[in-house]
Amino acid sequence: MTPERWERIARLLKDGPISNGEVSRRLGEDRRAVAGVRADLGLPEYVQPAAKQWTREGFEAMSIPLRGGHRRWRGRVQRDGTPVVDGKLTAYRLSFRLHHDREPVGRVLGTCRMKRCVAGAHLEDDVLRAARDDGSSLTELPAGATWQGMDLVAIRRCLRGSAPWPPLSLPEARFAYRFSKPSMSAAELARRLGLCATTVERYRTKGVPPC
C-alpha cells in the first residue's frame, strides 16, 4: 500500500467513528486494507450505534418542504437514488410510519408525480392501495389512515356506519362514492356523503369526476 493510500484511509478512520465497510465504500479500497490501517492506528473496532428513535420533528429537520406539499430527503441516498435513513430503513417507510402512526404493510410507493418525494401524505402501502382499488378493504383500515390527504376512516364511517356521519370534503365524497353500494338510494347516499341527490344521480349516469 502506498503512503498516500494509507494516509487517506487513516484520515477517514480518525475522523470517525466509521465502519471499515463505509471507508471502503467511500474510498474504493479493499476492506482488508482498511482493517490493516485501523490496526496500525490502534483504533477499536467500529460498533454500530443503537437505532435512532425518530420523531416527526426529527424527520422534518432531515427533509426539505417544497411547493405542493412535497418533501425532499436531505440525508443519505443509495446508488439508485432511494433515500435511506440507515442500511435497512428507507425514508419512505419512516415518513409513512410517522404520518399514519402505524407500520406500512408491503411496499411503500409514491402517489404524486415528484420523483423521490418523501411526504407522508404522498405515500401509500398495500393497505391504502387496496382501499383505493377495492371498497371492501375500507373496513380493515386502522384508525388515522389517510390517502392523499383524505380521511379514509371518516369515509368508511359514512359508507358503513350510522348517523351522525362526519363531514367530508368534496374530494373525499367523490372518493367515497366510488366504493358505495349500487343498491343504496341516491337520497341515502347523498345524506351520508354531504352531497345533493341530483349530484349522486349525475355521478351514476355520467361518472364521477377525478378526486
pLDDT at 210 over 90: no
For residue 18, the number of C-alpha atoms closer than 13 Å in the C-beta half-sphere is: 20
Give me the number of domains the chain comprises: 3
The model's pLDDT over 37-65, given as tens digits with 9 standing for 90+, comes to 999 888 888 776 655 688 889 999 999 99
Q: Is the peptide bond before 210 cis (omega within 30 degrees of 0)?
A: no
Q: 68 in a domain, yes or no?
A: yes
| Domain shared by 57 and 101, yes or no | yes
pLDDT of residue 142: 55
Least confident of 58-72, 118-132, 182-196: 118-132
Rounded to the nearest integer, the mean pLDDT of the chain is 84
d(C-alpha 205, C-alpha 197), whole Å: 13
Give the residue from 124, 143, 160 where a domain finishes: 124
DSSP states along 131-164: HHH-GGGGGGPPTT-EETTEEHHHHHHHHHS-SS
pLDDT of residue 140: 54
If one compares 193 and 156, the residue with the highest pLDDT of the two is: 193
Q: 23 in a domain, yes or no?
A: yes
pLDDT of residue 137: 53
| Domain shared by 208 and 162, yes or no | yes
If one compares 162 and 142, the residue with the highest pLDDT of the two is: 162
pLDDT category, 105, cuts 50, 70, 90? confident
| Domain shared by 35 and 57, yes or no | no
Which residues span the domain enclosing 37?
3-41
If one compares 201 and 147, the residue with the highest pLDDT of the two is: 201
Q: Is the whole model's pTM more than 0.75, yes or no?
A: no
- pLDDT > 70: what percent of the chain? 88
pLDDT of residue 150: 81
Burial class (CB in 10 A: 0-12, 13-18, 19+), 115: exposed
d(C-alpha 102, C-alpha 76), whole Å: 23
Q: Is the dihedral of CA 156, 160, 163, 181 positive or negative?
A: positive
pLDDT of residue 175: 84
| Domain shared by 116 and 167, yes or no | no
Grid cell at residue 10: 487513516
pLDDT at 84 over 70: yes
Q: 142 in a domain, yes or no?
A: no
Q: Please report which helix (H) or strand (E) contains residue 198, including its range.
A: helix 197-206
| Domain shared by 63 and 91, yes or no | yes
| Domain shared by 64 and 107, yes or no | yes
For residue 203, the number of C-alpha atoms closer than 13 Å in the C-beta half-sphere is: 25
Q: Are 205 and 187 within 8 A, CB to CB?
A: no
Query: What integer is the mean pLDDT of 123-150?
Result: 66
Q: 135 in a domain, yes or no?
A: no
| Domain shared by 119 and 75, yes or no | yes
The model's pLDDT over 87-101, given as tens digits with 9 standing for 90+, comes to 778 999 999 988 877
Q: Which three-class secondary structure state does DSSP give residue 71?
A: strand
| Domain shared by 10 and 32, yes or no | yes
